Each structure stands twice: as structure tokens, then as C-alpha cells.
Structure 1
Amino acid sequence: MEYKSRGGQKRDWEKEKLAYGVGPLMYTPAIQESAAEGVIERKYGGSYSLCFCLEDSIRDEAVGQAEKQLEKTLGEICEAWRAGQIKNEELPLIFVRVRTPGQLEQLGGKFLAYSDILAGYVFPKFSVSGGRDYIGIMKRLNEKNGRKMYMMPILESGDIIDMRTRKKNLYAVKDMLDEAGDMVLNVRVGGNDFCSYFGVRRRMDESIYDVRAVSKILTDILTVFSRDYVVSGPVWEYFAGDRELWKKGLEREIRMDLLNGFIGKTVIHPNQIPVVNSCMRVRKADYQDALSILDWEGDSLGVAKNNGGERMNEKKTHTTWAKKVLKLAEIYGVNDDENI
């Protein structure tokens, strides 16, 4: 069963649905000359989001070159879209990951010319220090622009590592994001950055949840943010290899992501896109249970067996879960195969 949106650009979906629809966000270096071609020729399909990176993927001495190439890339994509070479449903959500508030200030106004195809910006190492600068610039950009420009902060800075200050800093960041309001589309996490602080790296048959120090940080982030924001899962490094071990490892980690409350995934290769989209599809039993819970009928009982007769549904307890399931089903579809 498929549940796909019809109509205009994906970025014009209402904000709550769009937050769930970011899905696999593929990073590509902004300096890459063939990036526009990949979008225009639909090499990766349309069921993904794209982030042009000006940060870690670009050497310091090449930042100026990357900025010029990015402006050219955005211009080519925008021109192709306006000419009808790219249909609305084929255009991915497009973001730019900047290095600093200063770079956002420098590029943001200039890039408003591409707001037809640019959905917003991603902010690395977002923290109490510098966070308000990003938010202030985004507010000014939105005041100038006719279409909403979104922001997606990445929580990956060192001040989250220290347990003595973690709680204080996480809640301070949340207060800032709450003030930013509808500009915040997703909260993202930097799994590799956290791993680097501890000098560890997972193999294909290991998940981020096996790295206990890092999984504790991710748990704390979810505890603080996931009730009010869609929080996206950390990057998976592997995209090729014998016997598709990388794929099985990615599927395993996404299952754990979803169980813990993450929605979506950062990806670094086109091979990963269909895997993420497949894993985001809802199990048929979950979909049917969600419908039953949100359309509860009966006597005074608030608890009942599900349609399959194998588990309990409780209206009050499972309503939030059911709403999430239906949002995912609408965007990603439903799996008829219960073994998936």
C-alpha cells in the first residue's frame, strides 16, 4: 500500500508532516561540480533530501571555491526547475550546511534568489554558544523571504559530552529552539562526532547503540527533544561491501533508531537512500492498530485486543504512537510483508 502526497513541492507541506518527510538526508560536498546534474537527471530518485556541505567535507583553504560552486549548483537546479525539467514531486528538499553564523550571514541573503528550491540550512555543532546568532539570522532571512526557510541544528558539540553540564546545556538549547518556533524543522545528531571524542568507530556488524557512552548521549537528547521535535538518526558510514553486510547493519541500526524515537537518517551515499526509505515504511499490523486506536469505538473499556488478537491496544497509552504511525504511513507507505 502506498500513501503519497499529490500537488505542489514537498517543501510546501504543512510543517509537522514535512518534519517527518525529511527522511534520508544525503550529504554531498558543496564543491562537487556534478551535484546539479545528479538532481536534474534524477539519478537518486525523488524520495530523499539533499544537504550541500560547506563544513567538514571541505578543506579550510577550499571554502571560497566551494561557496562559488554551490552558488552555481543552486542556480542550475533552480533554472532547471523553473524550466520544468524537474517536476515538483521529483525535487528533493535541499539544504545547505554552513560552518558558522558568519558564513550564514554572508550567504543567506544571496541565496534567497534560490528560495524556490532551497528549503533551509543545517547548523553544525549547535550549542548555547552561537545558537542565538544562527536563530537571529534565520529570523531576518524569513522576514525578507516570501517562503519559509527552515533550520535544522545538529547536536554534536563537546559541551554535551560532559555529564556535569549535559543536562543544563541540552535544556538551554531546547529553550532556544522553542523560541525559534516554526523555523525548526528537525533536530539532528552527530553520531560520528560523538564517537570521535571517545576514539571509537563501529564496524558493519555493530550499531551506534553498542557504543554505550555515545548511546547514553543519544538517549539524553531524545529524552529532552523528541516529545516536541522530530529528531533524526545518526549517520551510517558503510555503503558497499561483500554480501551486503553494510545493508544489514544499516537496517539493524534503523530498527533501533525507530524503537528509540529517531525519525529519518543522515546518509552519505545514494546506495543508502532506498534502505532508509524501506525501513521507514510501517508494518501492516502497526498501521491497522493505529487506525483502530484513533477511531476507537465501543463501551466504557479503554483497552482491547488488536485485530490480530496477539497484543493489547490501549487508547490513552497508545494514541501518541498511533498518530506517529499514521504520519509515517502517509509519507513512506505500509509494508504488507510482516517479516520485514
Structure 2
Amino acid sequence: MSTTTRTSEVFSSVQTGWQLGAPLYVPALHPDLLKIANAEKIPLIKSMIICTEDAVAEKDLVQSIANLKHFLPLIQRIESRYRFIRVRNPETLKRILDLPGIENIDGFVLPKFDLSNSDAYHRILIHTRFRIMPTLETIDVFNPSAMRDLALTLASSDLKHNIVLLRIGGNDLLNLISMRRPRGVSLYETPLAHVIAQLVTTFKPLGFPLSAPVYEYLDDTETLDREIRSDLAYGLIGKTAIHPTQIPMIQRHYRVAQMEYEQALDILNTDSPAVFKRHQAMCEISTHINWARQIVARYDYFGLDDSDRCQTEKSAQHSSFERSLLKNADSFSIFAPYAN
């Protein structure tokens, strides 16, 4: 059977978002910002988001931008390591774009993104090469019509191909309804479950992948485990980590089961029949081809896994390789330099 696949026609143009892995939030004032960016500390991360918004108090914004001015020229280009800056608003974005060394950044996270500020961001970014990740976290997210209008606006925008993925701001959305998820409760056991489903069915058909919200309880790995499984079931791509210790668990879930990988390869094989059986499951090329492309993309970035090993690793300690990568991670805090 031929090994020719249908992947080449899409992977050159489709941005999967899987290459970002589990991005790590790092405040712009973090004392180890440069070491993290240059892989001298916490080398396991695939991407980082340098935050000038929620992780930085208003009174510290000027200092955080001054820190970026010193930091940006010192960033080393490292293959398959991505750095984004989460700006505060369009005005902050303009200031940051004028900083020396900004060319060392891959792109920007655009918070509180909706139709009220999309034009402002468009005017600033239209003539740049930066990738962007707009975050859906305003009250408009609860309005399906507003989200449909935003999706259509982005689909016709000159910046469409700059969008890596859309982020869902879970905590901001819960705050809008005066909620914080209790410990032990998955996001999919809150009112946001149907909101996430609505966002997926609104944006993904137009070509925009979405990423999963953060999980803020560091010691509750059982719920994080359940939530990541639900993230994948809802078709979300990637999940931001708030601490390095979350990254191995998140990224282990993105490894591909052997059976799914074999099914995906057969679906993408140009010599396969339109419908066939593989591992006791019906595989239909016309309806499963986009799923197969996602599986192969995950494999490209995270490799293979098997259910037996996953079950063992759930309750086991990190592998020796992961433990070596996590060296010094205990000293990391998203709230640094104020607290550990």
C-alpha cells in the first residue's frame, strides 16, 4: 500500500497551534524572565507568554515595560521555542512595538478581544509579521450573535493568517458571573461548559482553533487530568500552564495513542478506500480527515503514547527526564517577585 498521504496539501498553510504545547505564563517583572526565555531555566517549555496585563499591577506597568526594554535585545533565537507578549491594551501594544529587540518576539496575546477593539489592534498590527492570539474573555462571549459577528470579521480580516489560535479566558468569564470554580471542579462542570461548546462550533468551522483556559489549583492534579481530557474532547488545542509543574502532565495528554495514530495514517493514505475498519472502528475519509490531520500534528510535536503507560504515569512521579527538565521549577512563581 502506498504511503502517500493527504497531509502535504494542508500542513503548509494550516496553523495547528500544537507547536506551542502548554505555554507558561510569566509576569514581565519576573526576575528570571531572560533565563526562562533563553532556556537556561525551565527548558521543557515550548512557549512562554510574558504578561503585562493581569499579572502586573497598574502601578507597575511602566516598570514592566522598562524591564522589557532591557530584556528584548538579549533574547536568543531558539528553534521550536516561542515567546509571546500579553499586552494590556492597544496603547500598550504600540509602546511595546517601539522597543528595541521586539523582532525577537514571535507575537502577541491580545486580551479582552472583541469588536470594540479589533479595529484598533488591526491598525497597529496590519503591517507587521507578528503572530497573534486574541483572547475571548469579555461579556460578548456570552452572546452567540456577537461571537458570530466577531468570527466573520476575523475570517475576512487581513490578519486572519497571523492568528495562531484564539484563547478562552476562563477565569475572566467566571468573574463576569461572580464565580470562581471550586477546588476539584472541572471547568466543564460549571456554566462555562456550554459557552466553550458554543465558541468551538462558532469559530472552528471558520478555521480558528481555540485553546483551553488555565487550571489554577497546583496541587489538584486529579482534576487537572480530567479537565485536559475534556479539553481534548471539546476540540481545544493546548492549555496554558501557570506553573512549570503543570507542563509535563498537560503535554503527556497530547501524546497520541498508537491505535489513533495508525487510524489517522490510514485515513490520510491516498490509497485507502472511502470507508474501512481499523482497530474495530469505522474510518470514513470524508468525515474523519480533519481529525486525522490533528492526530498527525499532535504526533509530530509530542510523539506516541499508549494507554498502559498513561495509566501508570498518572499516579507515578515524573520520569527522570522530566524531573531533570523541572530542575529549579519549585522556585518559580507566576506572582514573582512578590511571592513564591
RMSD of aligned residue pairs (Cα, Å): 2.0
Q: Are 1:126 and 2:113 counterparts?
A: yes
Q: Which residue of 2 aligns with 1:216?
A: 194
Spell out, residue by residue over 1:238-276, the C-alpha distance to the aligned partner (whole angstroms, 9 max, x if none): 22x3xxxx2222121111001111000111111111111
8 Å CA contact 1:15–1:185 kept in 2: the answer is: no
- Distance, in Å, in 2 between the alignment partners of 1:337 and 1:74 is 42
User: Could you say what secondary structure the match of 2:180 adopts?
Assistant: coil
Q: From the superposition, tell whether residues 53 and 277 of structure 1 become closer, same or farther in structure 2 (CA, over 3 Å).
A: same
Residue of structure 2 equivalent to 1:250: 224
CA contact (8 A) 1:132 1:176 kept: no
Q: Give 1:225 shift.
A: 0.9
Alignment-derived partner of residue 293 in structure 2: 323
Does structure 1 retain, via aligned residues, the 8 Å contact 2:137–2:170? yes
What do the CA deviations read for 1:172-220 (whole angstroms, capped 9, x no partner)?
2112322122111110000011111222222342210000x21111111
Letter matched to residue 170 of structure 1: M
Runs of at least 5 residues in structure 1 that lack an aligned partner in the other structure = 1-12, 82-86, 143-147
SS at match of 1:199: coil
Task: Tell me how far apart the structure 2 counterparts of residues 129 and 337 of structure 1 sit (CA, whole Å).
Answer: 46
Contact persistence 2:28–2:68 (CA under 8 A):
yes
Q: Tell me if 1:332 matches 2:302.
A: yes
Structure 2: gaps of 5 or more residues? 1-10, 311-340
Greater per-residue helix proportion:
1
Q: AA paired with 1:304?
A: F
Instruction: Report if aligned partners of 2:36, 2:43 keep a CA contact under 8 Å in 1.
Output: no
Name the stretch that deviates more: 329-338 or 319-328. Answer: 329-338
Using the TM superposition, name which of 330-339 and 214-223 deviates more.
Answer: 330-339
In structure 2, what is the Cα distance between the partners aligned to 1:88 and 1:302? 38
Question: Matched residue of 2:108: which SS?
Answer: strand
Tell whether the 8 Å contact from 2:140 to 2:147 is kept in structure 1 after alignment. Answer: no
- How far does the alpha carbon of each residue in 1:273-306 deviate from its partner, in whole angstroms, 9 at most, with x for none? 11111111111111011011111546xx632221
Q: Does 1:303 align with 2:275?
A: yes
Within the alignment, does 1:260 sit opposite 2:234 as a pair?
yes
Within-5 A mapping of 1:1-340: 16-17=14-15, 19-78=17-76, 81=77, 87-89=78-80, 92-111=81-100, 113-115=101-103, 117-140=104-127, 142=128, 148-161=129-142, 166-178=143-155, 179=157, 180-211=159-190, 213-227=191-205, 228-239=207-218, 241=219, 246-295=220-269, 297=271, 302-306=274-278, 308=279, 310-338=280-308, 340=310
Letter in 2 for 1:40: N
Kept in 1: contact 2:23–2:45 (CA 8 A): no
How far apart, CA to CA, are the structure 1 residues paired with 2:287 and 2:38?
45
Cα distance in 2 between the residues matched to 1:259 and 1:193: 22
SS in 1 for 2:247: helix
User: How many residues matched?
Assistant: 297
- 1:339, distance to aligned residue in structure 2 (A): 6.0
CA contact (8 A) 2:24 2:45 kept: no
Q: How far did 1:168 drift?
A: 2.1
Following superposition, the deviation at residue 46 of structure 1 comes to 4.2
Task: Provide the C-alpha distance between the structure 2 equivalents of 1:74 and 1:171, rounded to a whole number of angstroms.
Answer: 37
SS at match of 2:49: strand
Question: Alignment partner of 1:318: what SS?
Answer: helix
**SS of residue in 2 equivalent to 1:271:** helix
Distance in 1 (CA, whole Å) between partners of 2:13 and 2:42 is: 24
Instruction: Give the TM-score, by structure 2 length.
Output: 0.82
Query: Distance between the aligned counterparts of 1:331 and 1:14, measured in 2?
Result: 15
2: CA distance, partners of 1:108 / 1:53: 15
Counterpart-to-counterpart distance in 2, 1:248 and 1:100:
35
Answer yes or no: is the 8 Å Cα contact 1:20–1:230 preserved in 2: no
Equivalent pair of 1:17/1:327 in contact (CA under 8 Å): no
